[in-house]
A and B are shown apart, each in its own frame.
Chain A
Amino acid sequence: MDSRNFIAAFMSAPALVGLLLFVVVPFLFAVALSFTNLRLGSPLPLEWMGFEQYRRIFSDPSFVRALLNNLVFVVVVVPLQTVLALVLALLLNRRLYGITWFRTLFFMPVVFPLSLVAVVWVLIFAPGPNGMMNAFLDLVSLGNWTPRDFLHDPYFALPAIMLTSIWQGTGFQMVILLAGLQAIPAELYEAAAIDGAGRRQQFWHITLPQLRNTLIFVVLVTTILASRLFDQVQIMTQGGPNDASTTVMFETVEAAFARQQVARGAAMTVILFLVVLLITRLQRRVARQEREVT
């Protein structure tokens, strides 16, 4: 038994030590730092500040705007992306000629690094009537579109980032939903068809309930990813104009690196963690309720 213990410890040690050193310790460190005033290159002595850092953060209009933007992003992107992914998954969930090609096509943007996606979309959002997005909107509005400088427009900067994110991320959701769809037993549909249920009824009474847990998972993942939004903001708008597209993560990096306020950045990351934790708990609750119902 002792040699067993030794071998097991030996096998799991590298992973455990890595997680301890690079996740657990920094996390505890973040919590500790968030109660201090640590600032790189500052002459002030290190002080314990309690919740002062948090109080300051929540009275900073930029951070409040960032939180709000993250929230708006979730409220808009999560339903839009999930419905779009579901539509695509439903379209792809059949044996038709060429369907694998479409599956590959829709999934392709997922393999594009976000930094590259952001750069390409900066070009797509180019100002003036020659910009691709402007030209496209002009075409579909039959000439009623006034060209805009999307990324420098307080009303369009965040939506532009949203659209970019949806384009890149939908394929991922689609694949997960497709797997969920394929796990639904065909007998359910056959039985429903015999009972005279139409396609619409089958969708509402079989597909959606059967897909519920997968949908919860997809919504959860999208929400968590949305709360971490950074790359696109950094490359496309730098949070501007006037904080119109700033996010919690962007504010964190600004505080910790542009202004050397390490403690403030740490406190912001603790807030981010609490948000993620809250989302995860909420999801567990919903999933558990579902189990009790069925």
Chain B
Amino acid sequence: MTHRSFLPMIYLCLLLFGLLFISPIGFMLAGSLKPDARVLVEAGDWRAFWPAGVTLDNYRDVFARVDFARYLLNSLFINGMIVGAGLLVNSLAGYAFARLLWRGRDVLFGLVLAVMIIPLEAIAVPLFYMVSLVGWRDTYLVQILPFIANAFSVYLFYTHFIGLPRELEEAARIDGAGVLRTYFSIILPNAKSVFATVAILTFLSQWGAFLWPLMVTSSETVRPLPLAIATFHSLPPLQWGDILAFGVMMVLPILVVFLLFQRWFVRGVAHTGIKG
């Protein structure tokens, strides 16, 4: 389809855009590996992307100055719980809405759809007030519990389950399996793609959570990485090398996940787009 003479121009455009997109990342990586004092001085020319005299001092500094491992574990724990519990809870609801006949189903599903357009930002203040009243501030719980049930996830599971063929369940029913049994032994194994998609989208949107943790936490012991980098950034003395090293370590886990599952990432994101 592509005319031959266009090829060099297309590659040139791709390369140019590619450079613009990658340069902040390259800058971060190179800066994290060079002596701290040189990061700012060399930011104005090609040396910004070239770590002459590679050193791991910045990385060592991060561990000396803050409890990085703690933040990382906090983030992993909080996100793991949200994703894991969310998959179970939202898929069960999606299944009940898509495949079971029950009283109140349509009304409740309408409610789920309506809830989808309420952004966290629009309820953050009263929700904060509520969790303060019950004394939940500064806990893991308050960072996990409100985000397990997710209307959008329920909707994604619903749209997937509603497309499954009837025969799948009928065979199991005839064998005498109950609803739950059918769900776990027949439906689950046949829905890996939607589970992966929802898991990825949830992880992607939660890993960077900033506003809510900023509101509800104050002690370092339960704070996740996005808050930690903001705090570290404002922590004197301002040492850019350290900050960049922190950044690299912060994005590395999700970057690895992304590169391993990038087919799923891209497909999952694309699918939700079409649904809109």
Say yes or no: is B69 at the interface (Cβ < 8 Å to chain A): no
B117 near A270: Cβ-Cβ < 8 Å: no
Say yes or no: is A48 at the interface (Cβ < 8 Å to chain B): no
Q: Are A115 and B258 CB-contacts (below 8 A) given A19-B151, A120-B28, A180-B274?
A: no
Say yes or no: is B198 at the interface (Cβ < 8 Å to chain A): no
Q: Name the CB-closest residue of B to A118.
A: B230
Per the 8 Å Cβ criterion, residues 195-216 of B in contact with A are 204, 207-208, 210-211, 214-215
On chain B, the residues within 8 Å of A175 by CB distance are: 266, 269-270, 273
A113 near B149: Cβ-Cβ < 8 Å: no
Q: Are A18 and B204 CB-contacts (below 8 A) given A23-B118, A224-B119?
A: no
- Total count of chain B residues near the partner, CB < 8 A: 96
B117 near A276: Cβ-Cβ < 8 Å: yes
Say yes or no: is B92 at the interface (Cβ < 8 Å to chain A): yes
Say yes or no: is B265 at the interface (Cβ < 8 Å to chain A): yes
Q: How large is the interface on A (under 10, 10 to 19, 20 to 34, 35 or more residues)?
A: 35 or more
Q: In whole angstroms, how far apart are the Cα atoms of A108 and B23 in the complex?
A: 12
A7 touches which one: B22, B100, B154 (CB < 8 A)?
A: B100
Say yes or no: is B194 at the interface (Cβ < 8 Å to chain A): no
Say yes or no: is B1 at the interface (Cβ < 8 Å to chain A): yes
Q: In whole angstroms, how far apart are the Cα atoms of A21 and B92 in the complex?
A: 18
Say yes or no: is B174 at the interface (Cβ < 8 Å to chain A): no
Say yes or no: is B145 at the interface (Cβ < 8 Å to chain A): yes
Q: In whole angstroms, how far apart are the Cα atoms of A167 and B43 in the complex?
A: 19
B89 near A167: Cβ-Cβ < 8 Å: no
Q: In whole angstroms, how far apart are the Cα atoms of A13 and B108 in the complex?
A: 11
Q: In whole angstroms, how far apart are the Cα atoms of A228 and B119 in the complex?
A: 8
Say yes or no: is B172 at the interface (Cβ < 8 Å to chain A): no
On chain B, the residues within 8 Å of A111 by CB distance are: 204, 251, 254-255, 258, 265
Q: Are A106 and B21 CB-contacts (below 8 A) given A15-B93, A115-B210, A176-B269?
A: yes
A272 near B121: Cβ-Cβ < 8 Å: yes
**Which candidate, B59-67, B162-170, B240-248, is the interface stretch facing chain A?**
B240-248
On chain B, the residues within 8 Å of A224 by CB distance are: 119
B249-276 to A contact mask, C-beta < 8 Å, 1/0: 0110011001100100110011101101
Per the 8 Å Cβ criterion, residues 1-41 of A in contact with B are 4-5, 7-9, 11-12, 14-19, 21-27, 29-30, 33
Q: Name the CB-closest residue of A to B7.
A: A96
A269 near B22: Cβ-Cβ < 8 Å: no
Say yes or no: is B110 at the interface (Cβ < 8 Å to chain A): no
A102 near B18: Cβ-Cβ < 8 Å: yes
B87-124 to A contact mask, C-beta < 8 Å, 1/0: 00110110111001111010010011001011101111
Q: In whole angstroms, how far apart are the Cα atoms of A277 and B115 in the complex?
A: 11
On chain B, the residues within 8 Å of A269 by CB distance are: 121-126
B123 near A23: Cβ-Cβ < 8 Å: yes
B125 touches which one: A94, A124, A171, A252 (CB < 8 A)?
A: A252
A26 near B130: Cβ-Cβ < 8 Å: yes
A131 near B43: Cβ-Cβ < 8 Å: yes
Q: Name the CB-closest residue of B to A255.
A: B125
Say yes or no: is A67 at the interface (Cβ < 8 Å to chain B): no
**Which candidate, A72-80, A154-162, A212-220, is the interface stretch facing chain B?**
A212-220
A79-121 to B contact mask, C-beta < 8 Å, 1/0: 0000000001001101010000011111111111111111111
Max chain B Cβ within 10 angstroms of own Cβ: one of A19, A25, A134, A167: A19
Q: Ordered nearest first, which 3 A-B pairs have the shortest CB separation?
A: A18-B149, A113-B208, A176-B273
Chain B residues within 8 Å of A, Cβ to Cβ: 1-2, 7, 10-11, 13-14, 17-18, 21-22, 24-25, 27-28, 31, 39-41, 43-45, 48, 89-90, 92-93, 95-97, 100-103, 105, 108, 111-112, 115, 117-119, 121-130, 145-151, 154, 178-180, 183, 204, 207-208, 210-211, 214-215, 225-227, 229-230, 233, 240, 243-244, 247, 250-251, 254-255, 258-259, 262, 265-266, 269-271, 273-274, 276
5 A-B residue pairs with CB within 8 Å: A24-B115, A105-B18, A123-B27, A167-B21, A256-B125
Chain A residues within 8 Å of B, Cβ to Cβ: 4-5, 7-9, 11-12, 14-19, 21-27, 29-30, 33, 88, 91-92, 94, 96, 102-124, 126, 129-132, 134-135, 167, 171-172, 175-176, 178-180, 183, 189, 214, 217-218, 220-221, 224, 228, 230-231, 234-235, 249, 252-253, 256-257, 262, 265-266, 268-270, 272-273, 276-277, 280
